[in-house]
Structure 1
């Protein structure tokens, strides 16, 4: 850090704060904050490329500082989750948050380091031109390597109908690319003191931002689903029998005539597919309402093998409208420190959180549920942040997507709103309705353009009937996945190899 001008650190700090403001803090993001995504990275780019040449390690350190700040601010909800439900003290909860930020901030460090390497054989201008490709490559690495693509830059523009038109083609990565490209143009104008160009770029961004506020024509609905929001406390223990006595009548009351399906969320309820009373109660509900049912529950399989003698999955139990039990979907992508403890010997101090929710086994099949000739692709909670995984349900025949979740762990922090926006992006990428059923909000129906069309109020026990529709068309993104992001990554690798070879020839 010695020899790095104070101006650089001031710009890094400004960029980190701006990146925090792009995403929900404790509610929906106002338009003015979402609009900051057009400028949030420009200070970081100017810090890295707008002054005297920095060493590669200084590029990395500047990026790292920005990333740490971003994760501390955007994902602050990690701390209350840990001390409220993980049996930790507040200082220990902050320690987990800090470790979390130090770990994931390494991706911003990677972004900075790659720009630093490129700068060794490219001009500042050409390094800037490479920046959108590098950013997308790093976002892809975040999704593929550490499996935490939370709040990718493009998610900040989920309400922009102009930009989200790119998602069915290149996924959220295409939106991130455009945003970084505009930041690059502003950074270049800033560095060259081309203020008229800067004003022009901002003008174009403003036009796209305003035009994006005019949403697409509402998508017609042809079917009805019943979404049950039980609003159960995370800290209270419930009996399965008593809950069934409350939630079954609630489901019947909330169900409208012709409802195709009833959804219950992932929740603290002690429902298990090994419980015959549970299976009978839901079978009777489905039969009485002539509705299929997808019910958040624990999937249990007795296998007699150590260490427990059984396997326990975070599951969705599946019932047809005639009351027949059709099996279950077992969650594949589990939450670290929530559903399993990674590197248990190292992180024993975080075991309290796992003790609260139980250690789950990992599912293996992306089951598409077909109770009535239409395919329902079900993903549970955290799985909604993985675009490439959700698209596989649609590619496998899902005509509508179902997301059951329990965001009660996060209280009234930013996490439920951030989580909702990522589910909305999955709807846009695949052009599918998403029926989102949660324990305490946000429960509702998301149309194929990402609009939350109907929803239940948060923190109340209720059942609502929502409209939705089916589709069997496949978007380019659904068919081919992250080809755009991989293309950006291959380009970055190619330029790096070319530069290394060029330097070796020169020496």
Structure 2
């Protein structure tokens, strides 16, 4: 329960600002479809209500009161952007409505601690003055975003993803990663917020007006001056089987593989150009390395099309050193023409409560979901999959949201990125569109084509500028021929990773140390 001090903090003005901050931070990401330009533009203002609460309305707040406001903002934001957690847990995890809602709420309450952390850090630097705090805000924001990726491994919807279609800001990504976009947006918010945080300062008003003009120019120019969509010269065939994630398919592995092979073969011969690679996605199919019908069918498809096939499947490896005698992986299998099953990538970043249960004894209520998809072992290598003289960087499902991990494939020589995913777990929510935008940023950061093959959508080819070039309609069964190119240049981000984010974090620590040694300023 909120104590009396907390209730005094939540005045009508603060409550209004809290709701406005939460709504603005929600609508700058896909909600029920692709993100329109006008909502993306709101990202330049999404943090302003939060900054006003913490630096102006809350100038006299205690650290606990500042943390409370930041925390409530975080809870509301996660509820608005990750509401699909409820859908997944209820529809496919077999949880009753109250239990699924409780899981979603606990999820949001846990991750909202990052918003509380930002509020606490900003409150700490506020002692050196509001001007100092506004200057520190973008560095603190990046430090918290980096923690979201490194500590709890859920960097979903970082601020910079709202500008994946902004050609000006996206040009930073090959150097800074998505964090550079987040930094510019946070800095823009802080500069514009100066007008209301420091209302009686003419310089602050001028800075805010200049920042608003620059933000308007960057937003409009970035959306209007998009680079032309690039058209690749190589052909890939992407299968979209549209299988039910509840496992209701009646066909056995061999029959389903033959049906899928037929769709892939049909798409591969629609024009005279040869397919360079055929992709089958991660899906709830009965495909695994121990099903001879599946293995022989895919091997035959590779030989018939003279193209390697990369297929999502369950990989089994005998291991007498463990109790059950084998390891099981969520894998991408490579089948080569003439030689069949040749190599495997094993997923490293597993989905909590989907592919494994952390602290399983404490979370036994999630067994419905984990039983549906199995308990997997972690892979250990981000080596490329090599076929036909080319190198593919293959990663599975939500591994695509980890920028520093995906860039390692390009650093290791991948000429094209391949994302095999089953987004059917999300249903018809915002998550498939959010997931797509995060995958698009990986293409921009590494200047690679990205072939995204999914169970039920969004299946697409994405050019090195993050533009969706060719796609297939969601929730349809079939296969589509798309085009791409092999590229080998390495970006600064590919080679050095999150260097910019770590530099911001170190600078944030220095700012905090300076503020701690500075006598508190009562007024600005």
Q: For this structure pair, what is the TM-score category when the shorter chain's length is used for normalisation?
A: over 0.9
Conservation of the 8 A alpha-carbon contact between 2:21 and 2:48: yes
Q: How many angstroms apart in 2 are the aligned matches of 1:455 and 1:273?
A: 29
Pick one of 109, 134, 139 that aligns with 2:140: 134
- SS of aligned partner of 1:318: strand
Q: Which residue of 2 aligns with 1:99?
A: 106
Q: Which residue of 1 aligns with 2:264?
A: 251
Q: How many angstroms apart in 2 are the aligned matches of 1:196 and 1:174?
A: 25
Superposed CA deviations along residues 12-49 of structure 1, whole A, max 9, x for unmatched, are 22111110111111110111111110000001001110
Conservation of the 8 A alpha-carbon contact between 1:285 and 1:323: no
Q: Which residue of 2 aligns with 1:159?
A: 165
After TM superposition, the score normalised by the length of structure 1 is: 0.96
Conservation of the 8 A alpha-carbon contact between 2:254 and 2:297: no
CA RMSD between the two structures: 1.5
Q: Which residue of 1 aligns with 2:303?
A: 287
Unmatched tracts of structure 1, length 5 or more: none
Pick one of 14, 21, 30 that aligns with 1:24: 30
Conservation of the 8 A alpha-carbon contact between 1:172 and 1:425: yes
Conservation of the 8 A alpha-carbon contact between 1:9 and 1:47: no
Q: Which residue of 1 aligns with 2:229?
A: 218
Conservation of the 8 A alpha-carbon contact between 2:231 and 2:469: no
- SS of aligned partner of 2:390: coil
Q: Which residue of 2 aligns with 1:464?
A: 480
CA shift at 1:176, angstroms?
Answer: 0.2
CA shift at 1:501, angstroms?
Answer: 4.4
Q: How many angstroms apart in 1 are the aligned matches of 2:95 and 2:238?
A: 34
Alignment of 1:176-191 (within 5 A): 176-191=182-197
Q: How many angstroms apart in 2 are the aligned matches of 1:305 and 1:25?
A: 47
CA shift at 1:420, angstroms?
Answer: 0.3
Q: Which residue of 2 aligns with 1:498?
A: 514
- SS of aligned partner of 1:3: helix
Q: Which residue of 2 aligns with 1:424?
A: 440
Conservation of the 8 A alpha-carbon contact between 2:243 and 2:249: no
Pick one of 414, 438, 444 that aligns with 2:460: 444
- SS of aligned partner of 1:370: strand
Pick one of 63, 76, 81 that aligns with 1:56: 63
Q: Which residue of 2 aligns with 1:204?
A: 214
Q: Which residue of 2 aligns with 1:400?
A: 416
- SS of aligned partner of 2:138: helix
CA shift at 1:217, angstroms?
Answer: 2.8
Q: How many angstroms apart in 1 are the aligned matches of 2:268 and 2:92?
A: 33
CA shift at 1:494, angstroms?
Answer: 1.7
The number of residues matched between the two structures is: 503
Conservation of the 8 A alpha-carbon contact between 2:289 and 2:315: yes
Q: Which residue of 2 aligns with 1:45?
A: 51
Q: Which residue of 2 aligns with 1:78?
A: 85
Conservation of the 8 A alpha-carbon contact between 1:298 and 1:312: yes
CA shift at 1:158, angstroms?
Answer: 0.5
Q: How many angstroms apart in 2 are the aligned matches of 1:344 and 1:305?
A: 22
CA shift at 1:59, angstroms?
Answer: 1.5
1:231 matched to 2:242? The reply is yes
Q: How many angstroms apart in 1 are the aligned matches of 2:26 and 2:358?
A: 27
CA shift at 1:255, angstroms?
Answer: 0.9
Q: How many angstroms apart in 1 are the aligned matches of 2:208 and 2:129?
A: 20
Alignment of 1:353-372 (within 5 A): 353-372=369-388
Conservation of the 8 A alpha-carbon contact between 1:321 and 1:371: no
Pick one of 355, 358, 363 that aligns with 1:342: 358
Pick one of 351, 365, 382 that aligns with 2:398: 382
Q: How many angstroms apart in 1 are the aligned matches of 2:322 and 2:387?
A: 35
Q: Higher mean Cα deviation, 488-497 or 212-221?
A: 212-221
1:173 matched to 2:179? The reply is yes
Conservation of the 8 A alpha-carbon contact between 1:282 and 1:323: no
CA shift at 1:467, angstroms?
Answer: 0.7
Q: How many angstroms apart in 2 are the aligned matches of 1:302 and 1:479?
A: 35
Q: How many angstroms apart in 1 are the aligned matches of 2:148 and 2:439?
A: 18
Conservation of the 8 A alpha-carbon contact between 2:348 and 2:380: yes
Superposed CA deviations along residues 391-445 of structure 1, whole A, max 9, x for unmatched, are 0000000010000000001111011000000000000000000000000000010
Conservation of the 8 A alpha-carbon contact between 2:194 and 2:207: no
Superposed CA deviations along residues 128-161 of structure 1, whole A, max 9, x for unmatched, are 1000000000000000000000000000110111
Unmatched tracts of structure 2, length 5 or more: 1-5
After TM superposition, the score normalised by the length of structure 2 is: 0.93
Conservation of the 8 A alpha-carbon contact between 2:124 and 2:516: no
Pick one of 24, 35, 39 that aligns with 1:33: 39
Conservation of the 8 A alpha-carbon contact between 1:42 and 1:187: yes
